[in-house]
Amino acid sequence: MFVSYFPKPRLFFISAVAWALLAVLFWYFVGSGLGAAIGLPPLAPGLESPIGVSVFWSAPFLWFYIYYVLAVALFAGFWFAYSPHRWQMWSVLGSALIIFNTYFSVQVSVAINAWYGPFYDLIQQALAKTAPVTAAQLYLGMLGLPASLSWQSPSACSISSSSATGYSAGARR
C-alpha cells in the first residue's frame, strides 16, 4: 500500500524524518525569531501568551503557521519534482495536514488548561485554606471569567471546608 500511495516510500519516510528534524532545529535556534522581519515578533521576555482563543491569532502563532506552510511547501515541492506520483497531493500534503491537526489539537488543549488555570488555582486555594475564596469567585471561575469581577466582599461568603460541604452550623439552606 505504501508503494502505491507514497512516492518511493523508504526514501520518502527517511527524508521526511530528516526534514522534520532539520525544520524543528532551525525553528528553535533561528526560525522563531525570524518572524520579526515580517512584523510577527516572538513574545517579549517576561510576557505570557494571551489566555483564550486570541492565542491562536497572536503574532508567535501566526508566524509558526507561516513557517510550517513554508517548510511543508519546500518538502512537497522537492518530492513533486523529484518523483511525481499520482497520489502525491494526498500522500505528501495530506500527511502534513494530519501532523498539523495533531499539533493544533494539543495547542487547543493547552489553551483550555490556561483558560481554566485561575479557576483551578482558586479550588486549590480554597482546599488548602491559603487564601479566602468567595462563592462568587468560584462561580465566575467556572464560567472562565476573572475573579476580579466579583461583586461581593471576600468576607461575605468565604469558602471553608465546612461551608463547602454544607455542614456548617450557620449555613443557609
**164: helix, strand or coil:** helix
Q: What is the average pLDDT across 142-170?
A: 52
| CB 134 within 8 Å of CB 159 | yes
Distances (CA, A) of 46 to 20, 27, 43, 121: 29, 20, 8, 21
Could you tell me the three cell numbers for 34? 525570524
Q: Which secondary-structure segment (H or E) carries 163?
A: helix 161-165
Task: Provide the pLDDT confidence category of residue 106 given band limits of 50, 70 and 90.
Answer: very high
User: For residues 117 and 48, is the Cβ–Cβ distance under 8 A?
Assistant: no
**Higher-pLDDT residue of 58, 69:** 69
Specify the residue for cell string 532551525. 26
Spell out the alpha helix ranges (H) of 42-134: 59-82, 88, 94-128
Domain ranges of the chain: 2-115, 132-165
pLDDT digits (tens, 9 = 90+) for 5-48: 777 788 888 999 999 999 999 999 988 888 888 887 887 788 77
Look at the block and give the residue holding cell 502563532: 61
Note every long-range contact of 135-143, with CB atoms under 8 Å and residues 24 or more positions apart, other chains counting.
135/159, 141/116
Report CA 25 to chain centroid distance, whole Å.
20
Residue 54 has pLDDT above 90, yes or no: no
Which residue would you say has higher pLDDT here, 140 or 109? 109
Looking at per-residue confidence, does 6 or 105 come out higher? Answer: 105
Q: Which residues pair with 134 in a beta bridge?
A: 158
